[in-house]
Amino acid sequence: MSHLPRLIRIISVIAKYRLDAFLVGQPGTALLRLALLPWKLRWAFSKARHFTRNQRLRLAMEELGPIYIKFGQLLSTRRDFIAVELAEELRSLQDNVPPFTSPSIEQIVADTLDAPATEVFRSLDSQPFASASVAQVHRATLHSGEEVVVKVLRPGIEDTVRQDIKLLKWVARLIATRTKFGKRLRPVEVVNDYEGVILGELNLQAEGANASQLKRNFEGSPDLYVPKIYWDYTRRNILVMERIYGIPVTDINALHDCNINLKKLAETGVNIFFSQVFEHNFFHADMHPGNIFVAREHPENPQYIAIDCAIIGSLSRDDKDYLAKNLLAIFKRDYRRVAELHVECGWVPPETQVHAFESAMRSVCEPIFEKPLKDISFAHLLVQLFSTAGRFNMEVQPSLVLLQKTLLNVEGMGRQLYPDLDLWQTALPFLENWQRKQLSPFTLFEELKEQLPNWLDQLPHLPVQVINALVQADKLTSINATLAEQLEATRKLRELQAQRRQRGGIIVLAAAGITLLPAVQSVLTTGSIITVGLAAVGVFLLSFKQ
């Protein structure tokens, strides 16, 4: 029950901010609201009663910590799911969480780098200019004159995260073992995957390595810029990075003032996402608006600037291939192919009837596709598809959860930039081009080149492997011959035993006949020949069974 103190704390915060107000009118929540009554006695004396319902939700998320803040960040981008007023309130969770004041940034730098802050930086702002769920950022200047930002972890943040993970694991086990849909949702695996993601975010040195890799992937690209990492001053709890001067992607007025082509900007964002997933297999998985900026240069062909690369996702080759094929089939309304792919990749049980699954997919997708493409929400489609697939015991794929969450972020951000964004038409050419590349002989040649060094490394060992294989084949042949001989001997032994039993049965029957001869004669005189026949057959069978 190590999660119990954290659970009590969460219930206390929910009661403190009267979040049960969001449950009013929702079916099946009366018991939960009743359970919160004892916790709400503080309400009359709480400052929270002066805030609106939306403000109370934002304050509760801030108080509960990083996991809840991140959920709020995701919600803030989905105005097609929640009210615009609530989305606006949650937007401050992207980079305006209350900062910590102790220890000071100077003390953290001195303790981490074993040198006074004045030796490392010419100047260092004591007050942060941005603060988010797990870290905050300070402006600074190196002695070389380069302008940088210093990112530092919140003190004690790891303990809070681990407590929440324990609680999530407990809830996941309850769902897995106590509900009908637990097996399909695979909550334990999902939480285990998320544990690795969120704990990885607490290592700023790993974040720096991710940023360096992402920068290499888009080196020279007009679409995305990633700031430089200063490794001499970067540690597990502190990251020093090049300072950038982009426009926050959510500042629509500033983007208009700089004449940024918002349609081009939204479409470029979609292409960046798909390039990361399908070409690089290395995607920024925390693309909420607080981490994305836009360069002021080249407004007609705007460039994104990405920061905070703590959460990075990748897929196995099979998952990536099946995902691309599924998306293509959905975009082309080829529901038969969607059904076949779900069975092939094991997302639904192998005994699933393809035609029934195809019909179910069609019933969900066709009403949606009859709308103008710009009005189709991919998020809503995902929800409906998964709900329908539940009838066919489709399980959650933990390896794809991070990708789906990122795609929801990307689409939500794109729709804020350009409400008429057509995700489908933007993504379809990319996916079709990707498919052509996969079938290209040049791609096959590149894969052969990639594997060739491995094959050459194995070449000197090939003769030994061939000899070993031949020896094993000889041994297998000898074993098969021995087994055949043993089987033949066993067969002959069984035939001999059967013959013996048959002879024994005849002998017993004869002996029984001699012994019973007087009785048989007596019976025959009474005319019950059928009874005698049955008795003889019974004796014979009993003797044979022995």
Active-site residues: which are they? 286
Residue matched to tokens 């349609």: 263
Residue 175 dihedral angles phi and psi, to the nearest 5°: -65, -40
**Which are the contacts of 326, defined by CB distance < 8 A and separation ≥ 6?**
338, 341, 342
For residues 178 and 46, give the distance between their C-alpha atoms in angstroms, rounded to a whole number.
37
Query: How far separated are the first and last CA of the chain, in Å rounded?
Result: 63
Q: Vertex 407, ends 55 and 159: CA angle to 5°?
A: 55
Q: Check if the beta carbon of residue 326 is closer than 8 Å to that of residue 315.
A: no
- Backbone φ and ψ for 124, nearest 5 degrees, come out as -150, 120
The CA distance from 226 to 205, in Å, is 16
Comparing C-alpha atoms, which of 35, 39, 33, 51 is closest to residue 9? 39
Residue 153: enclosing H or E segment and its boundaries?
strand 147-153
Q: How many CB atoms lie under 10 A from the CB of residue 428?
A: 16
What distance in Å separates the CA atoms of residue 82 and residue 59, rounded to the nearest whole number? 17
Placement of tokens 């991919």 in the chain = 378
User: At 294, phi and psi to the nearest 5?
Assistant: -125, 130
Helix or strand or coil: residue 305? strand
**DSSP element (H, E) containing 123:** strand 121-124
**DSSP sequence for 487-513:** HHHHHHHHHHHHHHHHHHHHHHHHHHH
Cα radius of gyration (the chain):
36
